Amino acid sequence: MAAIKIFSPATIANISCGFDVLGLALDAVGDTMTITKVADKGIRITKITGQDLPLDALKNVAGVAGLALLDASEYEGGFEIEINKNIKAGSGIGSSAASAAGAVWAINELLDRPFTPLQLVEFAMQGEKLASGVAHADNVAPALFGGFTLVRSYEPLDVVSIHTPKALFATIIHPQIEVKTSDSRKILKTNITLKDGIKQWGNVGGLIAGLYTEDYDLIGRSLVDHIVEPIRSMLIPGFDQVKSNAMQSGALGCGISGSGPSIFALSRGRKTAEQVGQAMKEVYKGIGIDYEVHVSSVNIEGIKRIP
């Protein structure tokens, strides 16, 4: 095989109570990429459509992640990468992660899979480090593993796939405003109280148990964030109203996707997820901010080959 075309999904990181550790992959939104094996050593980004992003491999997360893989590989040649971006950079649904994870997944396929999915997460994290300064895995892990994932530990890296109930649907609204990832990190407190910690890990445990037992009420009760959301939501205009509209329309839970500004809701069934999207839209129509809405099932496959 000399070339491969792939779909690399958008992802929701954090998922309310799971700050920096939980994530899930989406079906309805993602980038496509074509990766070609070539004799010349290194990585060349030959074309990017859909968005203005650097072609220089050292400035593009796909290049940096691909080079991290090549450094660990015995392969002497190189790869050319074409990226068609559908996920807007800075939207909070894993735009950089889709490119970084997509590049290493495709290269691994073209090399006949010398690396494990966990190793691919490590390479893709180098791309994330370029995008945000932090080598985080909460978006690249669900892109590579599919479904819900838990980053249990970074040292050593330990990623756990979590069972995904079939009727779970995500609604995402992306208000067209800029929230700098650096700002949304800066405003976070570095200490939490034991009281808040207890509430938060109670909810993480509850969410995982609810996903495994497909107990939608338990999932809903657990989708609560006592630590990050109260602070970060101040950067997203209309957040409280969007959340309140989503919950009134039947969502199980609603929170900030990644570091925002996108807001996600999880619902039981597509119909509810669509009604939730309608209700979320009303808020931004009212305050005159443009938006995009996506409704998607959870993508249990992760990155995949397409014709």
Catalytic residues, by residue number, are 128, 181
Which one of the spans 59-67, 71-79, 143-151, 152-160 is the region binding ligand ADP (CB under 6 A)?
A: 59-67
Report in angstroms how near the CB of residue 212 gets to ligand ADP at its nearest.
28
- Per the CB < 8 A criterion, the answer to whether 250 and 272 are in contact is yes
- Tell me the one-letter amino acid at 91: S
One-character DSSP codes across the chain: --EEEEEEEEEEESTTT-TTTEEEEEEEEEEEEEEEEESSSEEEEEEEESS----STTTSHHHHHHHHHHHT----SEEEEEEE--SPTTSSS-HHHHHHHHHHHHHHHHTT--S-HHHHHHHHHHHHHHHHSS---TTHHHHHH-SEEEEEEETTEEEEEE---TTEEEEEEEES----HHHHHHTS-S---HHHHHHHHHHHHHHHHHHHHT-HHHHHHH---SSSHHHHGGGSTTHHHHHHHHHHTT-SEEEE-TTSS-EEEEEESHHHHHHHHHHHHHHHHHHT--EEEEEEEB-SS-SEE--
The reply to whether 24 sits near ligand ADP by the rule CB under 6 A is no
The reply to whether 99 sits near ligand ADP by the rule CB under 6 A is yes
Q: 37 - beta bridge partners?
A: 79
The reply to whether 91 sits near ligand ADP by the rule CB under 6 A is yes
Which one of the spans 69-77, 85-93, 198-206, 217-225 is the region binding ligand ADP (CB under 6 A)?
A: 85-93
Report in angstroms how near the CB of residue 128 gets to ligand ADP at its nearest.
7
The reply to whether 62 sits near ligand ADP by the rule CB under 6 A is yes
The reply to whether 137 sits near ligand ADP by the rule CB under 6 A is no
CB atoms within 10 A of CB 176: 12
Report in angstroms how near the CB of residue 105 gets to ligand ADP at its nearest.
14
The reply to whether 95 sits near ligand ADP by the rule CB under 6 A is yes
Site for ligand ADP (CB under 6 A): which residue of 131, 159, 276, 279?
Answer: 131
Contacts (CB under 6 A) with ligand ADP, residues 179-218: 181
Coil, strand or helix: which one is 23?
A: strand
The reply to whether 275 sits near ligand ADP by the rule CB under 6 A is no
Smaller CB separation from ligand ADP, 92 or 277? 92
Q: How far apart are CA 144 and CA 128, in angstroms?
A: 14
- Per the CB < 8 A criterion, the answer to whether 80 and 36 are in contact is yes
Report in angstroms how near the CB of residue 257 gets to ligand ADP at its nearest.
8
The reply to whether 9 sits near ligand ADP by the rule CB under 6 A is no
Which one of the spans 88-96, 161-169, 186-194, 284-292 is the region binding ligand ADP (CB under 6 A)?
A: 88-96
The reply to whether 60 sits near ligand ADP by the rule CB under 6 A is yes
The reply to whether 253 sits near ligand ADP by the rule CB under 6 A is no
Site for ligand ADP (CB under 6 A): which residue of 61, 70, 168, 170?
Answer: 61
Which one of the spans 82-90, 157-165, 219-227, 234-242 is the region binding ligand ADP (CB under 6 A)?
A: 82-90
Which one of the spans 95-103, 143-151, 159-167, 267-275 is the region binding ligand ADP (CB under 6 A)?
A: 95-103
The reply to whether 93 sits near ligand ADP by the rule CB under 6 A is yes
What angle (nearest 5°) sits at the alpha carbon of residue 189, between those of residues 171 and 247? 25
Size of residue set near ligand ADP by CB under 6 A: 19
Applying CB under 6 A, the residues found at the interface with ligand ADP are 53, 60-62, 83, 89-97, 99, 131-132, 181, 258
